[in-house]
Amino acid sequence: MLKTGKKNIRQLSLNELEAYFETLGEKKFRSKQVYEWLWQKHAHSFEAMTNLSKDLRTKLSDNFSLPALTVDATQYSADGTIKSRFKTFDNHLVEGVLIPTDERKTVCVSSQIGCSLSCKFCATGYMDRKRNLEFDEIYDQVVLVNQQSERVYDKKLTNIVFMGMGEPLLNYKNVLKAIERITSPDGLGMSPRRITVSTAGVAKMIKQLGDDQVKFKLALSLHAANDQKRHEIMPINDTNNIKALIEALNHFYKTTGNEITFEYILFRDFNDSLQDADELIRIYRQVPADLINIIEYNPIENAAFVKPTEDTIQQFMNHLERHRVNARLRRSRGKDIDAACGQLANKDTQV
């Protein structure tokens, strides 16, 4: 419900829309027309619904609100990455990133305005959490970046990763509802297999994903392979230790069979030794994980971490390979516009 007191029309299901139109004495098919405007034609005003009568558009406008994200600013990286800063109806800012390669066009979306987890290496973690994003606001990010991808690269989005601002599993209902709309034939019709939700590790909600039989992939931001080190950089480890996470991930895999990935940022002289690699391998062996993404550290203002030398990174990767671990080194994209992993913080942006 917005401050106007009007209900957001996108919070209504198709059945609820049908019931509303019945009260107006309107034919049932009108609800499908409106639903199509909302979820497939991406109308951002009732006035845009041109196959409805003026009188009906006025009634909708009098009874409902239609808040939508708008693009507040855009930045273009030398490597083709595009960062967008979106503005919500209540003037909060949140960022999303289009990451293009020859094979795929991926959008990294946010799930919260700010974050409450305070991970020491992440710029968003130094911001306060203002509120959760509603499911339609998450949906709008995907729509707007898809339009951007078509405009700039002449290609639709192929993949979605929930790796932007916020912890998706602390906005569980809205994230799942957004994915339902994104994957629904009367929404964007994308395959859930092309969606990855990344979590800092909320064991209870990882198990819930399994119980809810979700179809998308899961990524765990591990970043340290023992509890002592993980606690230092990720306070969430206090209540969600590695043992609990291993148990939750195994439950998730047992109930869904969906792909699991570990994310592991390398920090110089902290988690980049061969001993650290051995501890990471031990965790990898306890979970049916498909892949470990080894990620370059991207510097942020508030943190004193440093990226390891190329030699150290290579030794770490070689050690994983020798032990037959499926690992991939993920080079950062969009560093020059603060769009890389861990850098999203709503900084002043040039349009």
Place of tokens 């390669």: 101
Is residue 95 part of the annotated active site? The answer reads yes
Is residue 137 part of the annotated active site? The answer reads no
- Catalytic member of 18, 95, 134, 137: 95
The answer to whether 227 and 241 are in contact (CB under 8 A) is yes
Tokens coding 75: 């930045």
Using alpha carbons only, give the angle 148, 84, 199 rounded to the nearest 5 degrees.
105
Tokens coding 106: 């991926």
- Catalytic member of 115, 119, 122, 341: 341
Place of tokens 């009732």: 46
Please report, for residues 13, 210, 268, 315, 316, the alpha-carbon distance to residue 310 in angstroms, rounded to integers and kept in the order given.
52, 38, 11, 9, 10
DSSP letter (8 states) at residue 154 = S
Taking alpha carbons only, the member of 199, 194, 165 closest to residue 182 is 194
Taking alpha carbons only, the member of 20, 52, 54, 24 closest to residue 36 is 52
The answer to whether 139 and 157 are in contact (CB under 8 A) is no
Please report, for residues 24, 63, 87, the alpha-carbon distance to residue 58 in angstroms, rounded to integers and kept in the order given.
13, 9, 26
Helices and strands counted in the chain (H then E): 10, 14
Strand partners, 260: 218
Angle of helix 203-211 versus helix 242-256 axis, rounded to 10: 10
Active site residues: 95, 341
